[in-house]
Amino acid sequence: MAGIGPLSEEGLVRLLDHEGRRVEDATYDPYVSHLTMDDLRAFWRDMTLTRAFDLESTSLQRQGELGLWVPALGQEAAQIGSAHATRLPDHIFPSYREHGVLHVKGIDLASIMGMWRGMEHSSWDPTAYGVHTYTLVIGAHAPHAVGYAQAMDWDGLVGSGDPEKDGAVVCYFGDGATSQGDVNEALVFAAVNNAPVVFFIQNNQFAISEPTTRQSKVPLAQRASGVGIPGVRVDGNDVVAVHAVTRWAMEHARSGQGPVVIEALTYRMGAHTTSDDPTRYRTTSDEQYWKDRDPIARLETFLTSADELPEDFKAQVEADGKELARRTRESVKGWQRGPVEQMFDHVYGTPHALVQEEKAWFNRYEASFADQEVAK
């Protein structure tokens, strides 16, 4: 891969081409041979529901119901394909755009909006779902993933040979994060400790406005070779290939063979967030090129050509998408702020004199207004 840039398609693992045709790959075909048409329809359904949720959430932000929204538009294959390669003992450290991953892991997307409405900083129980809270500081969760993976190893959850028991960690981050010190330190710590962790880079080609060429001169997966671990590039818009590569990587990590870097080359079809304006830094022809490579359309074409996507199934998924959107809207609008004093809760796990004093002061201050109202 010497001499090629970070957006090159060279070396990408691909099992469905962008026109939805199956491409054979002797190395990775065994990792998808178990997939049935039902499985592929489930992938398509998950991607379609994630997108329906995503579009509704953007609308909710535009209508003033959310402070901010971070669309995953275009990255559905990278997220759904990889998340389906995880299972119960595994643990996931997402960045903050992995709505598709959350959906696959059973977190009701309609329930995660408190964070984006300004009600709370996280919405699900990380232990119950095996999915850590979203981390907004770019790359800061990468060392957490490594430490967690080391601890799984110590707990005897790696390399036992029992597929029900063995687990590994997946850490999601983007192309921008690969420039962060924390991500590079995480790679070093993972490598020297042989930690069971898969670093899953969604190279969506943009860190807000900056193209991946501002982060790297080489394909991001090549970072792996610097620390002596395997790095694989995959077509991030090919859900089947993403699934295959992630399955391989997870088996590698779970069996005690150490960390892996996966770079899924995809495209952020939407804005970085609802505060962003991509028209200032990219062309419509570029956007059109990637619209023609839409990950959902690709699988849809494959299934349709195989006559495996019946109209009634599509109609049902469309209805499910509308229902998810409706529930999301209802959930967002139904959010009520709790008592103000709750903002003082959980700063510490044990009582801290300063927090207690300030909370008591605040309550007295609030009560002083109530007295005046009563007096009137």
Q: Which of 348, 360, 366, 367 binds other proteins (CB under 8 A)?
A: 348
159 binds other proteins (CB under 8 A): no
| Spatial separation of the C-alpha atoms in residues 102 and 50, rounded to whole Å | 10
340 binds other proteins (CB under 8 A): no
* Residue 45 vs 87, nearer CB to other proteins: 87
360 binds other proteins (CB under 8 A): no
Place of tokens 């997966």: 221
Q: Which of 48, 135, 178, 215 binds other proteins (CB under 8 A)?
A: 135
11 binds other proteins (CB under 8 A): no
Q: Which of 349, 368, 370, 372 binds other proteins (CB under 8 A)?
A: 349
Residues 6+ apart with CB under 8 A from 54: 71, 72, 73, 99, 270
- Binding part of the chain for other proteins, among 58-66, 72-80, 140-148, 282-290 by CB under 8 A, reads 140-148
Residues 115-134 that bind other proteins (CB under 8 A): 120-122, 125-127, 132-133
Q: Report helix, strand or coil for 263.
A: strand
348 touches 355 (CB < 8 A): yes
* Residue 143 vs 176, nearer CB to other proteins: 143
300 binds other proteins (CB under 8 A): no
- Binding part of the chain for other proteins, among 52-60, 183-191, 251-259, 266-274 by CB under 8 A, reads 183-191
CA neighbor of 123 nearest in space, from 58, 324, 115: 115
Number of H helices, E strands in the chain: 13, 7
139: left (phi over 0), alpha (psi -120 to 50) or beta: left
181 binds other proteins (CB under 8 A): yes
57 touches 50 (CB < 8 A): no
Q: How far is the CB of 169 from other proteins (least distance, A)?
A: 8
* Residue 182 vs 238, nearer CB to other proteins: 182
Tell me which residues are annotated as active site.
Answer: 268, 272, 281
* Residue 279 vs 356, nearer CB to other proteins: 356
Residues 6+ apart with CB under 8 A from 198: 168, 169, 170, 171, 246, 249, 250, 253, 259, 260, 261, 262
DSSP strand E in the chain: where?
91-93, 169-174, 197-203, 206-207, 210-211, 231-235, 260-265
Q: Which of 2, 33, 161, 354 binds other proteins (CB under 8 A)?
A: 354
Q: How far is the CB of 187 from other proteins (least distance, A)?
A: 9
Place of tokens 């799984």: 152
- Binding part of the chain for other proteins, among 34-42, 76-84, 297-305, 348-356 by CB under 8 A, reads 348-356
187: left (phi over 0), alpha (psi -120 to 50) or beta: alpha
137 binds other proteins (CB under 8 A): yes
173 binds other proteins (CB under 8 A): no
Q: How far is the CB of 303 from other proteins (least distance, A)?
A: 39
Rule CB under 8 A: which residues touch other proteins? 120-122, 125-127, 132-133, 135, 137, 140-152, 154-155, 181-182, 185-186, 188-189, 192, 345-355, 357
